[in-house]
A and B are shown apart, each in its own frame.
Chain A
Amino acid sequence: MAVHIKKDIVSAWRQFSRSKLGVTGLIIILIFIFVAVAAPIISPYDPQVLFLAPRFSAPSFKYLLGTDDVGRDVFSQIIYGSRISLTVGLLAAVVGTSLGTTIGLVSGYYGGILDDIFMRITDIFLVIPFIPLAILLALCVGPNIWNVILLLGFFGWPPAARQVRSLALSLKELPFIEAARAIGAGDRRIIFRHILPNVTGIIIANVVSRTVFAILMEAGLAFLGASDPRNISWGMMIFHAMRSGAVFYGAWWTYIPAGLCIAILACGFAFLGHGITLILNPRLRGRAGL
Chain B
Amino acid sequence: MYEFFIRKFIQYFVTFLIILIVIFSIPRLLPGNPADYIISPSTQYVGEMSEILRQQLIERFGLNKSIIEQFFLFITNTFTGYLGVSWKYFPKEVSALIMERLPWTLFLVVLSRTLSLTLAFFIGSIAAWKHGGKLDVTLQTLGLITMALPSFWVGLVLLTVFALYIPIFPIGAAVSYGVIYRNAWEFICDVLHHAFLPVMTLTIITFFGDTLIMRNAMLEILGEDFILTAEAKGLKSRVIIFNHAARNAALPFITGALMSIGLMITGAIFVETTFSYPGVGALLSESFFSRDFPTVQGILIITSLIFIVLNFIADLLYMWLDPRIRLMRVQ
In the complex, are the beta carbons of A220 and B270 less than 8 A apart? yes
* B145, A270: Cβ atoms closer than 8 Å: yes
A250 lies within 8 A of B164 (CB): yes
- Indicate the size class of the contact surface on chain A: 35 or more
Contact A140 B150 (CB under 8 A): no
- Residues of chain B in range 1-55 having any CB-CB distance to chain A below 8 Å: 11, 15, 18-19, 22-23, 26-27, 30, 37
Which B residues from 164 to 178 make CB contacts under 8 A with A?
Answer: 164, 171
A256 touches B171 (CB 8 A): no
Is B285's CB under 8 angstroms from A225's CB? yes
Task: Using CB atoms, name the residue of chain B closest to A268.
Answer: B148
Known interface pairs A127-B307, A224-B269; A135-B160 also in contact (CB < 8 Å): no
- Nearest-neighbor residue (CB-CB) of A215 within chain B: B148
- Is B156 among interface residues, defined by CB-CB distance under 8 A? yes
**What CA separation (Å) do A21 and B22 show in the bound complex?**
41
Chain B residues near A269 (CB-CB < 8 A): 148
CA distance A172 to B311 in the complex (A): 32
A220 & B136 in contact (Cβ 8 Å cutoff): no
Question: How far, in Å, is A32 (CB) from chain B's closest CB?
Answer: 13
* A132 with B30: CB separation less than 8 A: no
With A127-B15, A131-B266, A259-B157 in contact, do A139 and B288 touch (Cβ < 8 Å)? yes
> Which residues of the other chain, A, contact B311 by a CB distance below 8 angstroms?
127
The docked-state distance in angstroms from the alpha carbon of A271 to that of B270 is 24
Q: Is A80 an interface residue (CB 8 A)?
A: no
Find out whether the CB atom of B164 lies under 8 angstroms from the CB atom of A132. no
B137 within 8 A of A: yes
Known: A223-B150, A263-B150, A290-B141. A129 touches B288 (CB 8 A): no
Give B135 Cβ to nearest chain A Cβ, in Å.
11
Q: Are A288 and B288 in contact (CB under 8 A)?
A: no
Q: How far is the CA of A270 from the CA of B265 in the complex (A)?
A: 23
Residue contact A288 to B132, C-beta cutoff 8 Å: yes
A21 close to B269 (CB less than 8 A): no
Say how far A28's CB is from chain B's closest CB, in angstroms. Answer: 11
Interface range on chain B: under 10, 10 to 19, 20 to 34, or 35 or more? 35 or more
Q: Among B70-78, B190-198, B234-242, B289-297, which stretch is in contact with chain A?
A: B289-297
Q: Which of B58-66, B110-118, B298-306 is found at the contact surface with chain A? A: B298-306
B172 to chain A minimum Cβ distance, whole angstroms, is 10
A212 lies within 8 A of chain B by Cβ:
yes
Interface presence of B203 (CB below 8 A): no
Q: Mark A245-268, 1 if CB is under 8 A from B, else 0.
A: 001101010011011101100110
Which chain B residues lie closer than 8 Å to A137 at the CB level?
A: 26
- Is B147 among interface residues, defined by CB-CB distance under 8 A? yes
Q: Given A223-B270, A247-B160: A127 and B148 within 8 A (CB)?
A: no
Chain A residues positioned under 8 Å from B132 (CB to CB): 287-288
* Known contacts A238-B156, A252-B160, A290-B141: A129-B150 contact under CB 8 Å: no
Known: A140-B27, A290-B137. A238 touches B153 (CB 8 A): yes
Known: A129-B300, A129-B303, A267-B144. A139 touches B266 (CB 8 A): no
Given A127-B311, A136-B297, A225-B289, answer yes or no on A212-B147 (Cβ-Cβ < 8 Å).
yes
Q: Are A263 and B149 in contact (CB under 8 A)?
A: yes
Q: Which of A248, A267, A288 contacts B148 (CB 8 A)?
A: A267
Instruction: Tell me the A12-26 residues at the B interface (CB within 8 Å).
Output: 21
Where the two chains meet, the residues of A that have a C-beta atom closer than 8 Å to any C-beta of B are: 21, 123-124, 127-133, 135-141, 212, 216, 219-220, 223-226, 235, 238, 242, 247-248, 250, 252, 255-256, 258-260, 262-263, 266-267, 269-271, 274, 287-288, 290
- Pairs across A and B, CB under 8 Å, 25 listed: A21-B144, A129-B262, A132-B296, A132-B299, A132-B300, A132-B304, A137-B26, A139-B291, A139-B296, A223-B152, A223-B270, A225-B289, A238-B152, A242-B273, A242-B274, A248-B171, A255-B153, A256-B156, A259-B150, A260-B153, A262-B150, A262-B153, A263-B153, A270-B148, A274-B144
Report the 4 A-B pairs with minimum CB-CB distance, sorted nearest first: A259-B153, A266-B148, A132-B300, A267-B148
